Amino acid sequence: MSSQYFPAAASIINDNGLITLHVVCNNKNVTRSMVQLLIDAAPNSVRSVDEDGWMPLHHFCSCNKVDGAIEILNLLVENGASSPEYCRVLIEAYPGSERITDPTGNLPLDYACMNNTVATVQYMYELYPDTINHTTTDGHYPVHYAILGMNHRDSPIAAVDIVQFLLGCDPTVKLQKFREVMSLLFCACQGVYNDSNIHAALEMIKVIYDAHPETIEDNTIASHIHEYHQQVQTFINGELVYARQAKDRRQMTTPDHNRQLPLHTALQNNVRLGSIKLLVKGNPSAIRTFDRSGVIPLHVACQHHDSASVVQYLVGLDTTILDAVDKEALPLACHGAKYDTIAMLLEKYGAVSVSKWNAQKKLPIDLLWYSNAVEDRESIEYTESVFRLLKAYPETVNYFVDMNKQAKAGSCSPLNEEKRNLDAATLDAVDIEGCTALHYACRGAKYETITMLLTTYDAVSVSKRNAHGKLPIDLLFESSEGLDRDSVEYTDSVFRLLTVYPEALMNYNCNMKRPDAAQNGKKRKFEAV
């Protein structure tokens, strides 16, 4: 408040050559109102340079941001992108200050990359894109400062986000070398890491490796490996295996007993994108090679690889394999429950095969629903994938509504009748103990599954006995899944089973007349209720 009445207070220089605005911008607790207040009191203060040649903007960009600062930084939205309000205030007060270097050749972007948030870095980059290729007097590019910032950040993972952002801005960034000698990968591996930042450091190294894996072939990487953190050594040694394999032409072109090339195997084993790139470079024709089961590497990636970026990379190599995407990629991704790949295929390539049935009359969404690879059907990822598939092909809902409403009347549309009959046949299939899907649902007391099987597929297997003479309802009565037998869900499931197959009651009444029918005790109690 004093600066409003005494403007000179905002221009006072302390013993370190700093004015009030310098000090405020270097404080992690700074607020927009503080900055605006001082600029209003002393407009020329934004041009003030301290003894080190730093303007207030340099001090601000070098200030470590506390948790939650991003909410304050992103106060305004300009040109459709988030822009930190602090920088906007300073730069609007002194246009062009984002292009001014300090005595060592550092731009505000350099300090932002080392100390600030990815939002600030993005804002500074958009103001002056050419700065991404600017070197300081000692040979640093902005990306080098992002790497160096890993060692003193409160939140090391922010450095990963900034490196990833810079690599995505310009394809030349991955080739930038410190003093034209040290690659980004080498600079990142050389860092001195500890327990507090090694996880983030590894993520950063992996991002750099994926962007330009050829760097690992440089002898400098392997010859200095003993100097790296132990976990960094482990990662580099693991990827060197694929780098050396990619150089062996004979190994790269010789299929195994399943007629799979090293690329097929690597994709099935979830090998990183960087190493996949090296293997493709070692044998470019491998991407169109079929194995014994008739699949190409793209198919393997869709079903087994966890990274959607790997699938996207393979598709981008050869547009002719887009036909394979349309026929097989989405069904395989659904079968393997690869949620990121499902999202990528639907977003990048439209409704690829989302409405196409396979030879077993299954839609891609069917394959996801029945996939054994789904670990948690209550997860956000699973639910989101189902929603994406339904949104891409809303007629799926009509199919289930049609079966639900018309199944008992036997008047499904010809298309749905064919699929319903096939699905019912599948669900009526028995295991070695004579149990069907409904038997298993009852044994596990899966109420929603019981309801779905009965309403969608009519009386499928409800009257079938397994090898031990048990009906599905018997297994529900005898289930040991810690049930609440007084619950609405339990009672409703029993009622549904008895409604669909009332003959079960006659069977229990006959058994109750026999002295040796102790196994029907639970059923008698239920009937009494």
User: What DSSP line would sit under 416-457, residue for residue?
Assistant: HHHHHHHHHHHHH---TTS--HHHHHHHTT-HHHHHHHHHHS
Residues 434 and 473 in one domain: yes
Domain CATH code at residue 271: 1.25.40.20
Residues 316 and 219 in one domain: no
Residues 147 and 230 in one domain: yes
In a domain, 398, yes or no: no
Residues 479 and 509 in one domain: yes
Residues 26 and 149 in one domain: no
In a domain, 277, yes or no: yes
User: Contact at 8 Å (CB) between 266 and 242?
Assistant: yes
Confidence of residue 261 (pLDDT cuts 50, 70, 90): very high
- For the chain, the domain total comes to 4
In a domain, 506, yes or no: yes
Q: What is the pLDDT of residue 515?
A: 37
Give pLDDT tens digits for 67-93. 333 332 332 222 223 345 556 655 665
Q: Which residue range forms the structural domain that includes residue 323?
A: 254-393
Of the three residues 393, 413, 442, the one that is the final residue of a domain is: 393
Residues 278 and 351 in one domain: yes
Give pLDDT tens digits for 458-495. 555 788 888 888 998 988 888 876 678 888 888 888 88
Q: What is the pLDDT of residue 495?
A: 86
In a domain, 143, yes or no: yes
Residues 307 and 227 in one domain: no
How far apart are alpha carbons 306 and 329 in whole angstroms? 14
Give pLDDT tens digits for 32-52. 777 778 777 887 777 778 888
Q: Which of 139-148, 315-324, 326-335, 517-526 has the lowest mean pLDDT?
A: 517-526
Residues above pLDDT 90, as percent of the chain:
36
Residues 234 and 263 in one domain: no
Contacts of residue 229, defined as CB under 8 A and 6 or more positions apart, other chains included, come to 191, 192, 193, 198, 201
Residues 509 and 437 in one domain: yes
In a domain, 520, yes or no: yes
In a domain, 402, yes or no: no
- Pull the structure tokens for residue 368: 């996801």
Q: Name the β-bridge partners of 81.
A: 78
Of the three residues 213, 247, 281, the one that is the final residue of a domain is: 247
- Pull the structure tokens for residue 338: 């690869």
Q: What is the pLDDT of residue 514?
A: 38
In a domain, 234, yes or no: yes
Q: What is the mean pLDDT of the chain?
A: 80
How far apart are alpha carbons 298 and 283 in whole angstroms? 15
Residues 79 and 157 in one domain: no
Length of the chain: 529
Averaged pLDDT for residues 510-523: 43
Residues 323 and 448 in one domain: no
Give pLDDT tens digits for 360-415. 888 898 899 889 999 988 888 998 898 889 888 877 766 655 555 554 444 445 44
In terms of pLDDT, which residue wins out, 523 or 148?
148
User: Contact at 8 Å (CB) between 305 and 270?
Assistant: yes
Residues 275 and 387 in one domain: yes
Of the three residues 393, 412, 444, the one that is the final residue of a domain is: 393
Instruction: Tell me the C-alpha to C-alpha distance, in Å, between residue 457 and each of 427, 462, 500.
Output: 9, 10, 11
Give pLDDT tens digits for 180-235. 899 999 999 999 999 999 999 999 999 999 999 999 999 999 999 999 999 999 99
Q: What is the pLDDT of residue 279?
A: 98
Confidence of residue 105 (pLDDT cuts 50, 70, 90): confident
In a domain, 274, yes or no: yes
Inform me whether the pLDDT recorded for 132 exceeds 80.
Answer: yes
